[in-house]
Structure 1
Amino acid sequence: MNTLTTVPSESGGLFSSVPPIRIDLGIGGMTCASCVTRVEKALKKQPGVSDATVNLATESAQVVLGGGDTAESLARIKRAVRDAGYEPRALDSMDADAEARWMGLPRDLLPVLAGVLLSAPLVLPMVGDLFGRHWMLPAWIQFMLATPVQFVLGARFYRAGWHALKAFTGNMELLVAIGTTAAWTLSTWLWWRAEAGEMVHLYYEASAVVITLVLLGKWLEARAKRQTTTAIRALHALRPENAHLLPDGVRRTEAIDVAVDELLPGDVVRVLPGERFAADGTVVQGHTQADESMLTGEAMPVPKDVGDGVTGGSLNGEGAVDVRVRAIGAQSVLARIIGLVQDAQAAKAPVQRLVDQVAAVFVPVVLVIALFTLLGWWWVGASLEEALLHAVAVLVIACPCALGLATPAAIMAGTGVAARHGILIKDAQALEIAHKVDTVAFDKTGTLTEGHPRLQVVEAAEGVDEMAVLQAAAALQAQSAHPLARAVLEAAASRAIGVATDAAQDVQAVSGRGTQGRVNGALLALGSLRWMQELGTSLGPLDARARALQAAGATVSVLASQTPGDAAAAAQWSPLALLAFGDEPKAGAAEAIAGLRAQGLRLVMVSGDNRGAAQAMAARLGMNAPGDEVIAEVLPGDKAAVVRRLKSRTHDAGGERGGLHTVAMVGDGVNDAPALAAADVGMAMSHSEGASADVAMHAAAITLMRGDPMLVAAALDISRRTVRKIRQNLFWAFAYNVAGIPLAALGYLSPVVAGAAMALSSVSVVSNALLLKRWKPPVRPD
């Protein structure tokens, strides 16, 4: 089916009255970079189309509509593709056709086999010459063998070439059609004008073998391209077909089997040992372990108990559990992962746009070179047939197939293998930019640390009861989801302090500072030392203790009460207690920091904590080397400004100045979203579920599917390797043409050898990209 998706855009996006619609469409018949250029031009001319991107490797197009009648626009888009000489098709039907078989053989292999059977007798005399045997088939037999290859198996080249001519452009098919037709026509002419009984040398084998080799090369290329999409197919395969629904929820033990598509949020399903979870949800009964390796790259099973979230597609362990469905369809984590990977594989890298511009003029230039080759050889005294064969060799070897595959094949392989290891790359541009990153900025809490602070110290003011202070602080934080609030509530629960959820009234959260409200009639404020300074609170005897706790690396908050003023004096805030919180570094965070520094990267930690706490954590993480930087006391809204400042700083290594930093920002929460968007490359750690993780994933160019800091280095590594493959592929694609065209023009390559080299170029480019599938991320030593 064709995919219709609502997408955000700068012009309004999801909040616009007419949101943009993206159409994903399969396109059959594309063979080279020139095809891509022609289809894109045809699509962009259609009314309502604001953007169109065509990918040769996936044989698909992404078209963004600015609004209007979607059905009519889809019809116009399909008509435009067909008028350009290609076939609009549903994406899933293309996959089905690729796997179709006839008598046990792949259906798309049959034309190749037919070409081999018909061409083999024509090549036999060439083989005989190597052993001193002079075999020659009668001219009429050569004609009968070559003609079906030329005009039946080669009909696709004529059709596509004709459409290219009508559009005043060129493509691979046009070059093949002109070259092989010239060889077939020359052979037919020589046979027709020969005397009766005269044995003339014909060139039918050149036309037939070239077409067969091109068909073989395209088949091998298609097979190799399908291997680059194994990540997508593997993700699709994770989704089970059926689920065991409990119609009455956990109150009924008998389950009925229903299709996964029938599940609704709130349903309760039973998942048996060894089955895959049918949808995202929450465990409501039982306990087990989940294998999430295909989604997050995490090799070890993850324990799941009542209240824990599970992800659809992950594999259940040894326990049977009941799960309440939370998200289905396009809202599920698996669907979002598949969507991100598909978008990345279909997107066009900036370097590919330059390649497309070259391809647009490449074929006309080749036609001119072939014409000059023909005229040049004829002018120096060569026979017409010899001059024509050299021109045919130029046309055949110059086909820009490899040029169109060089970039998308590498991107598909790179994003696919990255997804298999828990790294979701949102678009090709992020992949291309990431290899240039020289500065990595980390949000501290939840990224480098566990993100689960614990209340370590309650230091009450003189004459204040510690238990009463903790109870008041817990009441004030009862409705907050802030990590420090949860730490207060956990501490109160561990000390068996009862907290009435309605004990606090008029509670207000002050962004980046703390919380205030009334508890038992008293106006209380719980927040940072900086906020207390802004309120004019004097800590008195607690001041020295606060500084000591900060120096030890704790995050210190103050619980203060307001003393009403009178006509002569304003209200005053009096400290009741200090609350000191501590966090722990994530396992492997220090190793990840050391690994990034070994790569020559500049490291920055951004934290909202006080400088003492931030510096103490940085020391525990090993971020105290020359060049490392700790930026503390940063409000959530100011993180984006910090990232912009890091980007604008000039390099000063070795005393040199000039050039801007390329910054990667790593964060994990909704308050990091502006900073992730401001960075050159934003990386979101999606170790949590819900709206916070959702916003971070959409703001970031790269999503790390588990909270392992080692994945930062892995993401940068796969980016470098993918860009390296792109450059290698482009080099070889251009090298084939740069070396092959002069050799063919000078007469060193026959049309048959040129056809083999052209087919080899495409296969070698895709095969080189497939080497990325062997990549594995660096792992920390246990």
Structure 2
Amino acid sequence: MTCAACVSRVERRLAKLDGVSASVNLATHRARVTHPTEVPVATLIEAIEAAGYTARRPEPRLGAEPEATGRPAAEATALRRLVLVLAMSLPVLALSMVPPWQFRNWQWLCFMLTAYVVVWGAWPFHQRAVRGLRHGAASMDTLVSLGVAASFVWSGYALFFGGAGMPGMTMPFSLLPSASPDVAHLYLEAAVAVPAFVLLGRYLESRARHDSGSALHALAELATNDVTVLDGGEERRVPVSRLQVGDRFLVGPGERVATDGVVEAGSSAVDLSLITGESRPVEVSPGEPVAGGAVNSGAVLEVRATAVGSDTQLARISRLVEEAQTRKARVQRLTDAVSARFVPVVLTLAATTLGFWLGAGAASEAAVTAAVAVLVVACPCALGLATPTALLAATGRGARMGVLISGPTALEALRGVDTIVLDKTGTLTTGRLTVTNMTADEGIDADRALALAGAVESASGHPLARAITRAARHAAPDRRLPVATAVEQTPGLGVRGEVDGRLVCVVQPPAGLPTPLAEAVERADTAGATAVLVTVDGAPQAIITLADGLRSDTYRAIDHLKRLGLRPVLATGDREAPAAAVAADAGITEVHAGMSPQDKAALVADLQRRGAQVAFVGDGVNDAAALAGADLGIALASGTDAAVAAADVTLAREDVHVIADAVRLARSTLATIRTNLAWAFGYNLVTVPLAMLGLLSPMIAAAAMSASSLLVVANSLTLRGKQPRRDERSQARATTRSAA
């Protein structure tokens, strides 16, 4: 495919099949097809081939990327053709444009060089033009082929029958077409310049599209090909495709994690930057999850596989990015409709121009020149590339920022959102209890009390127990805890056990505690946190306060959303006290606590009835209804499958701050699309009339046509460097520090 007319023809051909709808993307050369089960893929491919194109079923994008095997060879062929065409074209352009260099019989040398370019160099254009005409359709290749052929045939006629082949003939150069019958004029420079400029433009476009789609290529490179599996105590190297859920495998220093799993043994730091966009390494230890594609920066890890193949987070991210780059925005469908009718209109205008000038008594040379210029200058390529290249660059950039956008509809909705409803647990908070405070009675060593509590809690799987054990191990000098024996757990009351011959209990705090401990319990209740009491041989030792803490930079994220003109709202099923505490820490003034999943969905609907454009941010099954009902659903990739499936935007990074970055990206993307379309439409509105009036030579028309497409692609690529505004981030950090 080379232009938007190609896209339209393929879509129309597929739409003729019962129940089939298709969306073809010119930038990625991929189609998203919806079809009933009774219409097999083979039938879809036959329909595309009947339209004059080739197609194949896409293969998995993870592991060795299939498209990468064919792309280097295709690019090498295109580059070789471009180099040879330029080598043949430059002498023709130089001799045609610089009269002092025109030696005796120069025109015949130029004719032979031009014949090579017209026949071999422009062969892809002729081939696609004939194929399209055979199927009753025209495309940009039709215009290029006709323009090149007309220029060459006219020049050949002038050489053999029009007197231009006489020895010693010289030809003046002018940027405007020559209409003087006294001057022999050849259009060999146009015949070589058109394919040279178009081939150069398309090669650069191809490279630019490859760069703007680099998110998928980077994701594909994260997948490993083989892995060291532990089988009965022995290590063996097997292909990743043979991994099964439950298999244990090793990840050495510097290696990538083969698939999603849970650490069984070992502690290390893993780099998730290419998956989540987060540059800081994450410490993992036994019991904590790791994502496939992450790089192990430290010691050897033993990991148990929890997901393989298409079920992994990496595969999910790849699917989201690929689907986003295949879908179309509303504005692109308009440009596709215009482009589908553009080529027939241009052919009509070229024929009308030729007839008009001949009928007005102009020289046949001038009439043919004007008609050829109309054919060459018309460019539906810029229209076809205006939207998809911007979306391609934006979704790729979003993926690198940790924002996975489902498609252009989500981008359009993201730009128009004015209210953000946020879930608390797992969204603003980490979703994991942590020890936030340790208060010991007078004369008691707090670290020792925490170590004793961690020892008796280490055998329990309760969230409170895991949080206390994790904190105790982190505080211990050698990350080891004392050994507890005779451990007994009473649901709803606590746990007890013997450590070094002493009875240690971790229970709910009773009344009548010493003043420091009683005050700690009161503070925990006020903040909506959980307090547990540690006793040794029946004597109160310390109060451990646990809470689901805010995610890093949550206050800064909310502050940034406010600066963008968005209204943050907290909606949670938690109690009033913890909800109010989290809202105060995050800087949110509107709070709705004690809400069921139905209540959250009703809140979204109520805000929409009042005229708000609502985005809902959540991560749990209880958020799925609200995510689906909002104008825009935003889920965390670490959340449940139901939440991710209902969302339009997925945050690969566990940092709500990237929502603000996504809003900025969406606004920039749509502004870029508008600029691209303004240029694409404006270019044709100006250049086509100039060509019809005989004020544009075919050579200049070819250069302008290629430049228009390159400008559109270059403008779209500016989105790849889109960065958050540092001044606002620094102001937000200052605000956070002052608030603290």
Tell me, yes or no, whether TM beats 0.5: yes
Q: SS of the counterpart of 1:87?
A: coil
Partner in structure 2 of residue 86 of structure 1: 53
After superposition, give the CA deviation of every residue in 1:308-357 in whole Å (9 maximum; x if it has no partner).
11111100011011111121111111111111111111111221111111
Distance 1:503 1:446 in 2: 25
Structure 2 spans left out of the alignment, 5+ residues: 59-64, 170-183, 438-459, 473-483, 493-518, 532-544, 734-740
Within-5 A mapping of 1:44-443: 44-47=15-18, 50-68=20-38, 73-89=40-56, 94-100=67-73, 106-129=76-99, 132-135=100-103, 137-194=105-162, 197=166, 199=169, 200-248=184-232, 251-252=233-234, 255-443=235-423
Distance 2:225 2:466 in 1: 42
TM-aligned CA distance change 1:493 to 1:335, over 3 Å: closer
Matched, 1:486 2:460: no
* 1:635 counterpart letter in structure 2: S
Q: SS of the counterpart of 2:643?
A: helix
| 1:403 Cα deviation after fit | 0.9
TM-aligned CA distance change 1:361 to 1:270, over 3 Å: same
Distance 1:259 1:86 in 2: 36
Distance 1:640 1:739 in 2: 51
| 1:622 Cα deviation after fit | 1.7
Distance 2:421 2:628 in 1: 13
Partner in structure 1 of residue 694 of structure 2: 747
TM-aligned CA distance change 1:371 to 1:228, over 3 Å: same
Distance 1:493 1:300 in 2: 21
Q: 2:8 aligns with which of 25, 34, 37?
A: 37
Partner in structure 2 of residue 696 of structure 1: 643
Distance 1:271 1:553 in 2: 41
Give identity over the alignment, percent.
40
Q: 2:528 aligns with which of 554, 571, 588?
A: 554
| 1:726 Cα deviation after fit | 1.4
Q: 1:727 aligns with which of 671, 674, 685?
A: 674
Partner in structure 2 of residue 525 of structure 1: none
TM-aligned CA distance change 1:111 to 1:93, over 3 Å: farther
TM-aligned CA distance change 1:388 to 1:451, over 3 Å: same
My pick for the range that moved more, 610-619 or 354-363, is 610-619
Q: SS of the counterpart of 2:249?
A: strand
Within-5 A mapping of 1:530-545: none
After superposition, give the CA deviation of every residue in 1:412-435 in whole Å (9 maximum; x if it has no partner).
111111111211112221012211
Distance 1:347 1:227 in 2: 19
TM-aligned CA distance change 1:353 to 1:444, over 3 Å: same
TM-aligned CA distance change 1:136 to 1:694, over 3 Å: farther
Q: SS of the counterpart of 1:100?
A: helix
Partner in structure 1 of residue 595 of structure 2: 634
Q: SS of the counterpart of 2:261?
A: strand
Distance 2:101 2:108 in 1: 21
Q: Is the 8 A contact 1:294 1:421 kept in 2?
A: no
My pick for the range that moved more, 336-345 or 119-128, is 119-128
TM-aligned CA distance change 1:212 to 1:489, over 3 Å: closer
| 1:192 Cα deviation after fit | 3.2
Q: Is the 8 A contact 1:266 1:326 kept in 2?
A: yes
* 1:237 counterpart letter in structure 2: E
TM-aligned CA distance change 1:299 to 1:456, over 3 Å: closer
Partner in structure 2 of residue 592 of structure 1: 557
Q: Is the 8 A contact 1:273 1:316 kept in 2?
A: yes
Distance 1:746 1:648 in 2: 55
Partner in structure 2 of residue 649 of structure 1: 610
Matched, 1:451 2:431: yes
Q: Is the 8 A contact 2:676 2:712 kept in 1?
A: yes
TM-aligned CA distance change 1:708 to 1:388, over 3 Å: same
After superposition, give the CA deviation of every residue in 1:532-570 in whole Å (9 maximum; x if it has no partner).
xxxxxxxxxxxxx9xx9999452899xxxxxxxxxxxxx
| 1:358 Cα deviation after fit | 0.9
| 1:187 Cα deviation after fit | 1.7
Q: Is the 8 A contact 1:442 1:606 kept in 2?
A: yes
| 1:153 Cα deviation after fit | 2.5
Q: SS of the counterpart of 2:151?
A: helix
Distance 1:694 1:385 in 2: 68
Q: Is the 8 A contact 2:391 2:669 kept in 1?
A: yes
* 2:678 counterpart letter in structure 1: F
Partner in structure 2 of residue 664 of structure 1: 615
Distance 1:332 1:494 in 2: 30
Q: Is the 8 A contact 1:665 1:679 kept in 2?
A: yes
TM-aligned CA distance change 1:487 to 1:777, over 3 Å: farther
Partner in structure 2 of residue 26 of structure 1: none
| 1:361 Cα deviation after fit | 1.4
Matched, 1:603 2:568: yes
TM-score normalised by L of structure 1: 0.75
Distance 1:494 1:107 in 2: 60
Q: Is the 8 A contact 1:261 1:329 kept in 2?
A: yes
Task: Provide the aligned C-alpha RMSD in A.
Answer: 3.2
* 1:486 counterpart letter in structure 2: P
TM-aligned CA distance change 1:256 to 1:137, over 3 Å: farther
* 1:647 counterpart letter in structure 2: Q
Q: Is the 8 A contact 1:553 1:614 kept in 2?
A: no
Matched, 1:683 2:660: no
My pick for the range that moved more, 32-41 or 188-197, is 188-197
Distance 1:178 1:33 in 2: 18
| 1:590 Cα deviation after fit | 1.4
| 1:632 Cα deviation after fit | 2.7
After superposition, give the CA deviation of every residue in 1:236-267 in whole Å (9 maximum; x if it has no partner).
1111222111111xx44xx2222212222222
Distance 1:394 1:304 in 2: 64
| 1:291 Cα deviation after fit | 0.4
TM-aligned CA distance change 1:112 to 1:234, over 3 Å: same
TM-aligned CA distance change 1:616 to 1:678, over 3 Å: same
Q: SS of the counterpart of 1:709?
A: coil
Distance 1:491 1:269 in 2: 29
Distance 2:90 2:469 in 1: 85
* 1:37 counterpart letter in structure 2: S
TM-aligned CA distance change 1:218 to 1:329, over 3 Å: same
Q: Is the 8 A contact 2:258 2:293 kept in 1?
A: yes
TM-aligned CA distance change 1:609 to 1:271, over 3 Å: closer
Distance 2:157 2:209 in 1: 40
TM-aligned CA distance change 1:118 to 1:492, over 3 Å: closer
| 1:117 Cα deviation after fit | 2.3
| 1:115 Cα deviation after fit | 1.4
Distance 1:621 1:238 in 2: 35
Q: SS of the counterpart of 2:20?
A: strand
Partner in structure 2 of residue 561 of structure 1: none
Within-5 A mapping of 1:491-510: none
Q: Is the 8 A contact 1:98 1:108 kept in 2?
A: no
Distance 1:267 1:556 in 2: 37
Q: SS of the counterpart of 2:250?
A: strand
Q: Is the 8 A contact 2:228 2:238 kept in 1?
A: yes
